[in-house]
Structure 1
Amino acid sequence: MSNSSPLTVGSKLENRYEIVRELGQGGFGRTYLAIDINRYQEPCVLKEFAPQIQGAKELQKAEELFEREASVLYKLQHSQIPNFREFLRSQLNSKPALFLVQDYIEGETYAQLLKQRCFSEAEVVQLLQQILPVLEYIHSQGVVHRDISPENLMQRSVDKMPVLIDFGGVKKAATTAVSKATGQPVVTLLGKEGYAPPEQIRQGKAFPSSDLYALAVTVLVLLSGKQPKEFYDNSKAVWHWQQYISVSPELGKILDKCLAYKPSDRYHSAREVLQVLLTVSNPNPQPIANPNPQPVTAGNLNISQMPTLNFVGRNWKTNVTQVIANVGRTIVKLPAKKLFGVKFIANTLKIGVVVAVGVGAWNLAQAELLKLPKKISFPLPNLPSLPSLPKLPNSTTLTKAELDRQAEIMRRSKALGVTDFYTQVDRLFYSKYPELKRRALTEKPEDAKYRQRWYDIAEDLLDKLEKEKSI
């Protein structure tokens, strides 16, 4: 916790930044939403750096290191990273204070989104496709984030793209360096417990593969709504997430490799993960878990009053061994011999539930027994319904011609297998039009000319790449 008192709403820092509200606080200071008076009331974020160290020498060293690390943030220029604006020295309650000033991103963190619902396999695959190029970029700049988690990923409101925020690991690295340089112990943790890999927690080391590890943990949390400690066996240092989450074998292999104990056993780059991610086909579009399950009991029931459900069995001519129940937003693996009395009549499987199960709040029930091509119906109990989730709008202001142009660009880029194609186009586009300040383009008419220019740049790059490939 910072030793300084918080800035009050309406107060001004350096007669320029007017405080709107406090966004959060931690061991290194507070974070504020402010408006930049000198930039037409633009919103921005002030991140205070106030390490718990005493003495002029130590503070001077902290300033030097923090400014050095701030210069690292300054050189990061990416549409999915908040722009760094300023490194600010100021006075707070008559004491020296250091601030980072960054762009404000309107949106919700993935931790906030997770409170509403869990994510589907299709959604996390899309998230990986969208955020891995960002990691590839920062790693190419010699930067490791060190603190990837649902709290540090935001979904930007304007375009629903993920944005990587809070390079808090930079501040923590600076504080660790202060401790080494001055001999004064400073308590710091490089990364969140459960998300950070062993080498980061135990040795303070971080590599590109360390970010990939934390990203894989983030995916497990988004899929399940559970905390990392629920998937991890500390005594054996192994993950056992497969007991709780069912995903395609291809995605499962990717997650397992990212979660390897040794950095050398993981993927070595974000680009490598993106390439392997192409093997994931037809990911499940339905969320598989409810982040806030309520216990529901199904016991000795009147089968005639149960609704009908479908499932697929591994081999309907033999004994059923396991049921994978996709009930509403919860997947449950249940041994059939403990649940069902089984009788075959004219190729129809008749099942009665004979034990109680607690599986969460449901609004519809569907059960599947893996990899059997014959569907069979059986009844399950009536269960309480969930409120309907809001549907995303599927309308668009774009013309069919423009949508077709987008689809053709996507098709050509996939055919080339260039995983960072869109990142390359963004770099070219924003370097050509710096007046946009890397803001995301919208579907509004006023952005139409810039969208067309973006397409032009994308198509020119595709022509060049296709030509190079044919040589």
Structure 2
Amino acid sequence: MGQVVNHRYRIIRQLGQGGFGRTYLAEDGDQSHQTCVLKEFAPQVQQKQDLQKAKELFEREASVLKKLQHPQIPRFHASLQVKIGSKDFFLLAQDYIDGDNYSQLLEKRQSQGKAFSEEEIITLLQNILPVLSYIHSQDVVHRDISPDNLILRSSDQMPVLIDFGGVKQLPASQGFWFTKLAVNHTLLGKKGYAPEEQLRHGKVFFSSDFYSLAVTTLVLLTGKEPQKLYDSYQGIWYWGKEINISITLENVLKKMLAYKPSDRYQTAEQILKDLPSPTITQAPTTNVTKIKTMIVAPGRKRAQTVISKIHSKTQLVTQSIPLPIWIRPFAVSLGGTALVVLVGVGTWAAVNAVITGVTSIKVPSISLPQIPQLPNPLSKPASDKQREDNTQIISRRQQLEIPEVFFTRFVDSLFYTKNPELRGRSLTSKSEDAALRNEWSSIASDLLNKLEQANLSTAARQKLGSYSQKDYENWRQQARAGQLGNYTISQLNKDTYQKFDQLFPGQQRGKLNQQTFGQIWYAIAADKVSKVKSGT
């Protein structure tokens, strides 16, 4: 890491690795150190013809991204060929999209015993189908739509379609395209998500994308992989069994999933016309759920104070409003538990600051009080220095891959703990709040320092905010089953606290907040378990 490519892109860290190479988060020296993604071409093939085909796919992605200009598609920056040592490397630079992909979002939901609601799925379709309409108008088929290749962008909560490595530019006179890749002649497309004509015969149509999108929605609705939702012997989907949705949405998805491409919708506009409307009371993302307060696994007691199932008709405002990044803290007291409304980058949205517990305590239902409107702070913007400080905080958090909601919730918690008299109001852009804004930023910077000192793995950092008692119970069971060798759960507690206490001295053992300090405790423990399993 830290290597500079083409005298321009400084590698920050690796984001992932696939069959065609690795992807990196990089800093563009020619664009005011803006972060971007570098995709490396290094296919794991050996035959000359396979290498050539893989290279064609890479070059196709570059040419297609150059052509596509849509706010929900990563913007193309550059295509590079560089020599490192004696080896040539092909790299593609494009926008970095800050957010979680839908596979990660589903995993978080499942850890809470949930999946996506029908209203959320309808909203997702309404927001992503115009993107497919656009790429199809350019005679482009994506061919690899799945939860992994859709990212919910943090800044505006809009889905972004990524990974155009498998795209096909359809010639006007040809309705399909055929190719074989790699030694075992695998066809492009993900099993379970790609339709039969694509996986078995290599044919692809615009409606092939609709099929994959429909499968994606079923996975998000049920939390189950396609193989659990489809009888491949009889060729039927388990409607009314594994898949329980309204008849209107079911009919739309059935047509998108038709076996014959000609029986499916032929345009995205046709699907949008037939889609039911999401209910008014259901926001695109679940901003408010059960509110609980509890203690992390190392503690011997669980909190007895449990608060509210939110009234079904209550909703939080989620429309985009261009407010400064620092306008974060805002709380409404609910029986001693603060519901924090956070303000994001260039937007303000009601973010889920509720504490999703892992206890089995039945939650009583109460109504949520009316949330006051935030004051408009645009009359006097924050100073240039404050903007610079906030930009650095955002960049550092992104580089560490720390989830935004977890991080902001943690900083707000620390801020309110230090300034309890401020609960119930937001920070304004007025000069009298300048010291408080600086204090919030200072707390955020200090927390990032602690997280860097923790030296957590990327996987552990990415899961911050999603750990629960279930993780701890899994480790306990693994220790009892001898899967950790001679390592015991008592030793795990001891080792984890030893490192945690060095980072956060003074925190009372057994009484760590589940959603803030407790998450870091879990992350340290998770890394320790991983090292024990690997023998390092």
Q: TM-score, normalised by structure 1?
A: 0.56
3-state SS of 1:108 partner: strand
Report the AA paired with residue 196 of structure 2.
Answer: P
Q: CA deviation at 1:55?
A: 7.3
Deviations 1:363-411 (A, max 9, x none): 99xxxxxxxxxxxxxxxxx9644899xx9x9777698xxxxxxxxxxxx
- Correspondence for 1:47 among 39, 48, 55: 39
Structure 1 residues not aligned, in runs of 5+: 1-8, 291-362, 365-381, 400-444, 447-471
Q: Which residue of structure 2 lines up, in the alignment, with residue 210 of structure 1?
A: 208
Label 1:64 to 1:125 Cα distance change in 2 as closer, same or farther (>3 A).
Answer: closer
Q: Which amino acid aligns with 1:126?
A: T
The CA deviation at 1:91 is 2.3
Separation (CA, whole Å) in 2 of partners of 1:12 and 1:386: 53
Q: Is the 8 A contact 2:142 2:168 kept in 1?
A: no
Aligned match of 1:309: none
**Are 1:197 and 1:210, in contact at CA under 8 Å, matched by a contact in 2?**
yes
Q: Distance in 2 between matches of 1:107 and 1:12?
A: 25
Instruction: Indicate which of 91, 95, 107 corresponds to 1:103.
Output: 95
Q: Deviation digits for residues 125-150 of structure 1, max 9, x if unmatched? A: 01100000000000110111111111
Cα distance change, pair 261–101 in 1 and its aligned pair in 2 (3 A): same
Instruction: Give the 3-state SS of the residue equivalent to 1:199 in structure 2.
Output: helix
* Partner residue of 1:29 out of 4, 16, 21: 21
Partner Cα distance (1:57, 1:246) in 2: 46
How far the C-alpha of 1:112 sits from its partner, in A, is: 1.1
User: Structure 1 residues 273 and 14 mapped into 2: Cα distance closer, same or farther (>3 Å)?
Assistant: same
Counterpart AA for 2:101: T
Report if aligned partners of 2:143, 2:204 keep a CA contact under 8 Å in 1.
yes
Q: Distance in 2 between matches of 1:94 and 1:160?
A: 44
Partner of 2:76: 84
Which SS does the other structure have where 1:242 is aligned? Answer: coil
2:269 corresponds to? 271
1:100-137 Cα shifts (integer Å, max 9, x gaps): 11100111111111122211111110110000000000
Mapped contact 1:220–1:241 kept (Cα < 8 A): no
Given that 2:10 and 2:29 are in contact with CA atoms closer than 8 Å, whether structure 1 keeps it comes out as yes
The yes-or-no answer on 1:156 pairing with 2:153 is yes
Match of 1:167 in 2: 164
In the alignment, residue 264 of structure 1 is paired with which amino acid?
S
Give TM-score scaled by structure 2 length. Answer: 0.49
Amino acid at match of 1:276: D
Q: Percent identity?
A: 54
Cα 1:241–1:228, aligned 2, differ >3 Å: closer, same or farther?
A: farther
Matches of 2:16 and 2:371 in 1, distance apart?
A: 35
Quick check: 1:36–1:42 contact (8 Å CA) kept in 2?
yes
Give the distance between the partners of 2:21 and 2:363, measured in 1 at CA: 40
**1:121 equivalent in alignment to 2:118:** yes
> Residues 10-29 of structure 1 correspond to what in structure 2 (within 5 A)?
10-29=2-21
Distance 2:228 2:46 in 1: 39
Asked if the contact 1:107–1:154 (Cα under 8 Å) also holds between the matched residues in 2, the reply is yes
In structure 1, what is the equivalent of residue 191 of structure 2?
A: 193
Deviations 1:214-239 (A, max 9, x none): 11111111111111110011111221
Gaps of at least 5 residues in structure 2 are 110-114, 171-176, 290-355, 377-427, 430-536
Determine the C-alpha separation between the residues in 2 that align with 1:167 and 1:19. Answer: 22
Q: In the alignment, is the contact (CA less than 8 A) between 2:255 and 2:264 conserved in 1?
A: yes
Select the structure of larger CA radius of gyration. Answer: 1
What is the CA distance between 1:14 and its match in structure 2?
1.5
8 Å CA contact 1:33–1:46 kept in 2: the answer is yes
For 1:37, the aligned partner's letter is G
Do the aligned partners of 1:65 and 1:177 also contact (CA within 8 Å) in 2?
Answer: no
Instruction: Specify whether residues 177 and 22 from structure 1 end up closer, same or farther in structure 2 by C-alpha distance, changes over 3 A only.
Output: farther
Structure 2 counterpart of 1:4: none
What letter corresponds to residue 249 of structure 2 in structure 1? L
Shift of 1:265: 1.1
Measure how far apart 1:198 and its partner are: 0.7
Instruction: Please name the residue that 2:30 is paired with.
Output: 38
Contact 2:142 2:166 in 1 (8 A): yes
How big is the shift at 1:86?
Answer: 1.1
Note if 1:222 corresponds to 2:214.
no
**CA distance change for structure 1 residues 67 and 396 in 2, over 3 Å: closer, same or farther?**
farther
Query: Is residue 133 from structure 1 mapped to residue 142 from structure 2 by the alignment?
Result: no
Q: Which residue of structure 1 aligns with residue 418 of structure 2?
A: none
**Does residue 1:262 correspond to 2:260, yes or no?**
yes
Pairwise CA distance, 1:171: 9.1
Residue of structure 2 aligned with 1:74, choices 66, 72, 91: 66
CA 64–251 in structure 1, closer or farther in 2 if over 3 Å, else same: closer
The 1-side partners of 2:197 and 2:22 are apart by 28
Q: Which structure's residues are more often strand, by fraction?
A: 1
State the shift of 1:186 in Å: 6.3
Tell me by how many angstroms 1:70 deviates: 1.9
Query: 1:283 and 1:161 mapped to 2: Cα distance?
Result: 18
SS at match of 1:155: strand
